Amino acid sequence: MSSSKERPTLGGTRIKTRKRNIAAPLDPATFADAVVQIYLDNAGDLELVAKNIESSDLNFSRYGDTFFEVIFTGGRTQPGTTKPDEGERHTASVLDCEPTREAILPSVLYIQKILRRRPFLIKNLENVMRRFLQSLELFEENERKKLAIFTALTFSQKLSGLPPDTVFQPLLKGNLVAKGIVLSFITDFFKEYLIDNNLDDLISLLKRGKMDDNLLEFFPTAKRSVEGFSEHFTKEGMLDLVDYNAKKMFDVKLKEMKSALTTQIAEETEISEVIETVKQRVKDANLPDFEVVRILWDVLMDAVQWSGKNQQQNANAALRQVKTWAKLLNAFCTNGKLELELIYKVQIQCYEDTKLMKLFPEIVRNLYDQDVLAEDTILHWFRRGSNPKGRQSFVKALEPFVNWLEEAEEEE
């Protein structure tokens, strides 16, 4: 028999269930109808709608996605689709207005007001925009244009917290790109955005959306080329964008060629094979000859193992590199202009890199000994070279060698 006494209890005490354990019914339809009713009660006047939305006790934290569906389409959409669901609808939605900035801007400003009071809703705006953009083929062409204008205006108006990758990344679905839907959308987007912003602003936006290096991905495969890009956006009057992309693609080609050369030189590939690699890349990318000469010199000098302080070791290493790869330089310094371009490249590097400052005459002489630079080219640079960087010092340093050349020329 237990000696412990029974604990006293209070008769008639009712144990309350904690509120967090009570599941409220999930009813987006009722929420959507309530928001639509606010639109209808205020005849679609977005100023009045915003005031009534702000003073309402609707559960936006639970039904944020539904709220933006009502803003975009005029009512709730069927789960997982863009089709309208049952219930009343209003006609002040983004997709019901005219496809012009004047008609769509009030909706952007209205959303901006809502987000200032309820910033947590930005995530719901992202969700709905991502879903709609991934389903662009389900909208009419006119509706896609409205979405493009709306999206451009959200960034022009700096709608708080909307990440650019929310917009650009969903567009890269294969079927949307292949059908040309994405290209049409992004063209409308660019045109609208550039009304209020300049090209630098657009590029900055694309960078934040991780798309500045991938503009061709908006194009169907058959049109995915620099020429296709140029033709399309020239017709649309965006010549600055065409120039930007041409330069961007040119820089990419240069970078790719430099990377391939760096690898081959590090692996001490046969010079004949390296020459063929350069020729093929020049042909594929249509690279100008003077850019090729610059790249070759950069890559060769980057591969040198420089000494921290020993000037003689640096001189020996640089001259050894010139001698080893002279045939490569020779293959592309095919006329006086390209030889002069090489001298200018050497001049600038020796001027900007203190460890090479005193090596200029030795490098030039070595290039002459290896038949990379002709006597006439060196004399032309000495007498009329136009690049001012360190020129006075380099002319003086090269003077003994030039005197020797001139004496040899006189003897001949």
Q: Would you say 367 and 296 are in contact if contact means Cβ atoms under 8 Å apart? A: no
Q: What does the pLDDT read at residue 169?
A: 86
Cα 110 from chain centre: 30
**Mean pLDDT on 340-360:** 90
Give the start-to-end residue ranges of the domains of the chain.
26-218, 225-287, 305-411
Amino acid at 329: L
Q: For the whole model, what pTM was predicted? A: 0.74
pLDDT digits over 353-402, tens only?
Answer: 877 888 899 999 999 999 999 999 999 999 988 888 888 999 999 999 99
Q: What does the pLDDT read at residue 176?
A: 92
Phi/psi of residue 84, nearest 5 degrees? -65, 145
Integer-rounded Cα Rg, in Å, for the chain is 34
**Mean pLDDT on 335-343:** 94
Report d(CA 147, CA 106) in Å as an integer: 14
- The set of residues, in sequence order, having a beta carbon less than 8 Å from that of 406 and lying 6+ positions away, is 379
pLDDT digits over 79-107, tens only?
Answer: 766 677 777 889 999 999 999 999 999 99
Q: Would you say 270 and 324 are in contact if contact means Cβ atoms under 8 Å apart? A: no
How many CB atoms sit inside 10 A of residue 43's CB? 11
Q: What is the DSSP string of 336-368?
A: HHHHHHHHHHHHHHHHH-GGGGGGHHHHHHHHH
pLDDT digits over 157-195, tens only?
Answer: 887 678 888 888 888 888 999 999 999 999 999 999 999
Q: What does the pLDDT read at residue 2?
A: 47
Amino acid at 3: S
Q: What is the 3-state secondary structure (H, E, C) of 43-111?
A: CCCHHHHHHHHHHCCCCHHHHHHHHHHHHHHCCCECCCCCCECCCCCCCCCHHHCCCCHHHHHHHHHHH
Question: Is 305-411 a domain of CATH 1.25.40.180?
Answer: yes
